[in-house]
């Protein structure tokens, strides 16, 4: 007897492709604002592995703006931290791509980072360097480049946090993922919290453990 209706009829089946090549493009500014909002620290090595899964990874790219030339004294400490962070990304194999910050009356802002990311996505697609692009951003400005890449026969997956996610961008991509559901899989563990979770061993517990070891020794 055939089943005409099923409770799982709306369950989405994820298609897997043989020897699928993926490239990951991370919008650093977008991720920075989202992770700050929910107060987490991202382990990018874990994030890249989580997104690539068992697929063949061409490379992961990280895009951000950096200060150049003369900049205020208060930015120097911040830049020192950022430089150390970017060096860490390079050490784990993530390609860091940067653009100089633009000075405005309101302060320094990122300018041209999204264009650099979009250009790399398109360029690598034209060269047939990947089958699937994983765009880690919630910025709807990427919609035109996503559609162009799809016209080249490539797939685009969108990954973002709920806070910065664009419905329009998710809708145009072949697949999307909201990272809030998987935070434990790619964030640094707070060692202080882990220590608090561990049960305290009392003096009585230590005595019991010593006696238990003595009894085991005597039985042998």
Q: Domain segments of the chain: what residues?
A: 21-189
pLDDT at res. 219: 57
Residue that has been written with the tokens 């561990």 in this structure: 198
Q: What is the pLDDT of residue 1?
A: 39
Q: Compute the distance between CA of residue 217 and CA of residue 220 in angstroms, rounded to an integer.
A: 5
Question: What fold is seen in the domain 21-189?
Answer: Rossmann fold (3.40.50)
pLDDT digit string, tens, across residues 132-147: 999 999 999 999 999 9
Bin 94: left if φ > 0, else alpha if -120 < ψ < 50, else beta. beta
Whole-angstrom distance, CA of residue 172 vs CA of residue 68? 36
Q: What per-residue confidence (pLDDT) applies to 217?
A: 60
Radius of gyration of the chain (CA): 24
Q: In sequence order, what are the beta bridge partners of 21? A: 56
The list of the chain residues with pLDDT below 70 reads: 1-17, 69-76, 104-109, 190-220
pLDDT value at position 10? 44
pLDDT for position 101: 79
Q: CA-to-CA distance for 155 and 131, rounded, in angstroms?
A: 6
3-state secondary structure of 174: coil
The answer to whether the CB of 75 falls within 8 A of the CB of 109 is: no
Exposure of 109 in the CB half-sphere (CA atoms within 13 A)? 7
Neighbours of 173 (CB within 10 A): 23
Q: Helices in the chain by DSSP H: which ranges?
A: 28-37, 44-52, 73-91, 113-126, 143-151, 167-172, 191-197, 203-219
């Amino acid at each position: 007897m055939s089943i005409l209706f099923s409770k799982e009829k709306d369950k989405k089946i994820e298609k897997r492709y043989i020897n699928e090549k993926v490239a990951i493009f991370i919008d650093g500014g977008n991720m920075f604002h989202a992770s700050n909002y929910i107060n987490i620290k991202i382990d990018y090595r874990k994030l890249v592995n989580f997104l690539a899964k068992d697929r063949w990874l061409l490379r992961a790219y990280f895009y951000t703006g950096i200060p150049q030339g003369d900049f205020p004294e208060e930015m120097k400490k911040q830049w020192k931290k950022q430089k150390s962070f970017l060096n860490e990304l390079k050490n784990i194999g993530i390609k860091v791509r940067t653009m100089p910050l633009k000075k405005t009356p309101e302060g320094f802002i990122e300018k041209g980072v999204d264009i650099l990311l979009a250009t790399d996505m398109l360029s690598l697609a034209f060269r047939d360097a990947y089958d699937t692009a994983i765009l880690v951003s919630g910025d709807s400005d990427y919609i035109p480049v996503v559609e162009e890449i799809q016209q080249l026969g490539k797939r685009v997956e969108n990954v973002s946090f709920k806070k910065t996610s664009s419905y329009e961008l998710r809708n145009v991509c072949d697949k999307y993922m909201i990272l809030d559901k998987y935070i434990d899989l790619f964030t640094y563990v707070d060692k202080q919290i882990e220590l608090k979770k561990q049960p305290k061993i009392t003096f009585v517990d230590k005595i019991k453990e010593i006696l238990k070891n003595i009894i085991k020794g005597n039985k042998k």
